[in-house]
Amino acid sequence: MTTDITRCTEIIRAKLDGISDSQPQVGVILGSGLGPFADALEPLAEISYADLPGFPEPGVGGHNGRLLIARVGNTVTAVLQGRAHYYEHGNAAAMTVPVRTLAAIGCETLVLTNAAGSLQQQAGPGSVMLLTDHLNMTGVSPLFGETGNERFVNMGDAYNAELQQLFRGVAAKQQVTLHEGVYAWMSGPQFETEAEIRALKVLGADAVGMSTVPEVILARHQNVKVAALSIVTNYAAGMSETPLSHEQTLEFAALATESVQKLLTGFLEEYNA
């Protein structure tokens, strides 16, 4: 794994060689259906996951497999278009190489996005939710097998308060309604039962999904600051008569694309302002 990270770092730096002020400061991982944000960028470099050893081969609709380096405002950003999920191979550490590579090339902050089901009646499909905390309901960790005291990561401040405040300010300026809440990570790939959703509500969850939490843990293990946005694609089981499906996820992710683009662009423009 260390060899993969070293090689990925060399490949990325070679692509950026000769481009001034091109060291990425912020990494962004895009969730299902959010490719238009990446498509709107003018990349300094573009690399297929297939050319980066240890990067996943996305197996989910709405996930392309490429890394873009682009400048947004004064912030050089590394955008990962596509992620691996725990449910694909039962591997919670599937995003270890990508996240550690981002840290190795200089990213001090990681912004995560995902598609999620809402447990808040007021946060319907097509809305955006700023994550303030999470519940790991899977019982697994991407740090299984790690050694040394660094594996005992403090998750009390996993979602950085200053980054949250920056997103709130951007949302106000852009007139984007930004809901807030706690994200529950379930293993998938099946959607949750109505009983599971009732239990998650009791535990304090506001959104539920099948990703993101492993990447948060991996980032904090590398002392990378984290912020995260959920794009609400459906109401959770039992809250709507609409059957849950991945097609619905992609449809409503597209509705939130404009809001997400405004939030991410504004965040990156103000990050180094």
Q: Which residues are catalytic?
A: 32, 63, 85, 87-88, 115, 210-211, 234, 246
Of the candidates 208, 229, 244, the one whose C-alpha atom is nearest the C-alpha of residue 120 is 208
Other C-beta atoms closer than 10 Å to the C-beta of 86 total 23
Cβ neighbours for 147, distance < 8 A, ≥ 6 positions apart: none
As a whole number of angstroms, the distance between CA 97 and CA 221 comes to 13
The conformation of residue 77, written as its DSSP 8-state character, comes to E
- For residue 90, the one-letter residue type is G
- For residue 179, the one-letter residue type is H
The H-or-E segment that residue 242 falls in is none
Token representation of residue 26? 């912020």
As a whole number of angstroms, the distance between CA 91 and CA 34 comes to 24
Which DSSP string do the residues of 7-73 spell out, in sequence order? Answer: HHHHHHHHHHTT-TT----EEEEE-TT-HHHHHTS-EEEEEEGGGSTT-----STT---EEEEEEET
As a whole number of angstroms, the distance between CA 81 and CA 32 comes to 9
As a whole number of angstroms, the distance between CA 105 and CA 84 comes to 20
